[in-house]
Amino acid sequence: MNVAGTITSSATPAQLHALGSDRGRLDGVGVLSDLVIDEVGLVRGRFTPTSVIKGTELDVVIRAGRVDAESAQLDVSGSRGPHRVDVALTIGYSPGEAGSRIAWSARVTVRGPLAGVGQRVVGDLATRAIGEVLEQAAAVADV
């Protein structure tokens, strides 16, 4: 399924762009933890969104795709037990009144048991979770 959202940030597009090359800053993103870069350059860690079902904790692998001054493409896989969510995320940032306007869209594919009953709610949950992590990332970009 496809989901999308927009947020505003006080960080400038340049600051947001810089996040991609400053992984240390991502340690300040509360919903992400144990971040490491593995031997092939993938970012691995844990994602614990607070905006969805409490206690949801996913092992995530983030693969950066095309990144430029105005946008970034990321492939994110989150897994927990037999469940898996693959997200192809496109983030665009443009100057806003007090920083940046971030528009994102994602192709979300749910696999495993979550693909059954979870399909009914996963759109809302994914929208919230992606929005939450992007808001937190944007916040640390401005620090």
Partner 1 sequence: MTAEQLTRPAATFTGRSVRRKEDDRLLKAQGEFGDDTPLARPGYLVFVRSPYASARITRIDTSRAAQVPGYLDALLPAEVEELTDPFMELQPPPGDAEVDRCLASNGVVRFVGEPVVAVVADSREAARDVAAAVVVDYEPLPHVVDARVAIEESAPLVHEQVGTNVAFEATYDWGDVDFALANADHVVEVDELHFHRFSSTPLECTAITAEYDAGTDSFTFTGGFATPQLAVLNLVGALRHPASRLRVVSKDFGGSFGVKINNHIPATAAGLLARRLGRPIRWTETRTEHHYAGGHGNERWFRNVKLAVQDDGTVLGVTYDALDDIGAYSRYEPLGAVIWTQVANACYQFKHVKVRYRSVYTNKGPVHPNRGYSRMQHMWLVERMMDLAARKLGFDPVAFRLQNYVQPEQYPYTTVNGCVYDSGDLPRSLRTALDLIDYTGARALQEQARGTGRRIGIGIGSTLDSGTNNFAQARLLNAHIPFSGNTEGGLVRIGADGSIYATTGGVAFGQGHETTVAQVVADLLGVTYDEVHVQRGSDSSLSAQTGFSGSYASQFAVTGIGAIRNAALKLVREVQLVAAATLGATPEEIELHGGTARVITDPERALPLAAVAGIVHFSPAELPSAVADEVGLVGRAVYRAPFELPDLERKYGNLTLTYATQVHACVLEIDEETGEVSILRYAAVDDCGTPINPMIIQGQVHGATAHGISAALFEHFGYDADGQLSAANFYDYHAATAADLPSFAYGNVVSPSPFTPIGAKGMGEGGGAPLHAICAGIQDAVGEDGIVLESFSPPERVLRLLRGHNLEKARVTR
Sole binder of partner 1 in the list 52, 64, 73, 80 (CB under 8 A): 80
53 is a contact residue toward partner 1 (CB under 8 A)? no
**Token pair for 83:** 């469940």
Q: Which stretch binds partner 1 (CB under 8 A): 11-19, 48-56, 66-74, 76-84?
A: 76-84
Sole binder of partner 1 in the list 8, 12, 51, 79 (CB under 8 A): 79
Q: What is the dihedral of CA 48, 53, 59, 61, to 10 degrees?
A: -80
Q: What is the dihedral of CA 65, 136, 32, 128, to 10 degrees?
A: -80
Residues 83-122 that bind partner 1 (CB under 8 A): 83-84, 109-113, 115-117
Q: Is the dihedral of CA 9, 70, 75, 61 positive or negative?
A: negative
Q: Which is nearer to partner 1, 58 or 134 (CB)?
A: 58
